Amino acid sequence: KPASEYLVKAAGDDGLSSINLVVDACNAVSLHSGLPISVVDLDRTRPPLRIGIVEGDQRYVFNTTGQEIRLEGLLCLLDAEGPCANGVKDSQRTKTHAGTMRTLSLVWGPRSLAERVAAATRWYRELLEGAAVATRDFPTSPDETLLPSK
């Protein structure tokens, strides 16, 4: 189930509480577009970063209670330590926190929804830049390096 579906349920159940500017903007855009969006703390990742399909029995913890998601066959953001985000759940290891200063956001969607993905990405960027958050584009093709090793 895409993260955007979980978000709709959470918003309907108890409402959404504010997390931080980037995640709050992400949640608003995801709710309205129906697309899942990942937000990771770049300082918690280990470059290089790339997008690829996970093979084998890999998992990661996605919340503070230690719940895990099986990742085999899922399109994920991967860093040097392995998968860290996808359109279902993001890894606890790279989630934002009160001290987050740099993030990477990914709007997940199939090629058949390219126009919706582009519109959601534009709106998300407008919200962030309207709050004086600097943004930039990264390549988005599977297996293309998003952020090389230092």
How far apart are alpha carbons 72 and 144 in whole angstroms? 19
pLDDT of 135 above 90: yes
For the entire predicted model, the pTM comes to: 0.87
d(CA 27, CA 109): 15
pLDDT per residue over 52-70, tens digit each? 999 999 999 999 999 999 9
pLDDT band for position 85 (50/70/90)? very high
Give the per-residue pLDDT at 76: 96
pLDDT mean over 102-130: 96
**For residue 4, is pLDDT > 70?**
no
On the question of pLDDT at 77 being above 90, the answer is yes
For 94-103, what is each residue's pLDDT tens digit? 999 999 999 9
- The pLDDT, as a whole number, for residue 37 is 97
Among the CATH numbers 3.40.640.10, 3.40.50.300, 3.50.40.10, 1.10.1040.10, which is that of 3-134? Answer: 3.50.40.10
| Pair 94, 79: CB distance under 8 Å | yes
Mean pLDDT for the chain? Answer: 91
* Angle, in degrees to the nearest 10, between helices 21-33 and 3-13: 100
| All structural domains of the chain with their residue ranges | 3-134
Name residue 32's amino acid. H
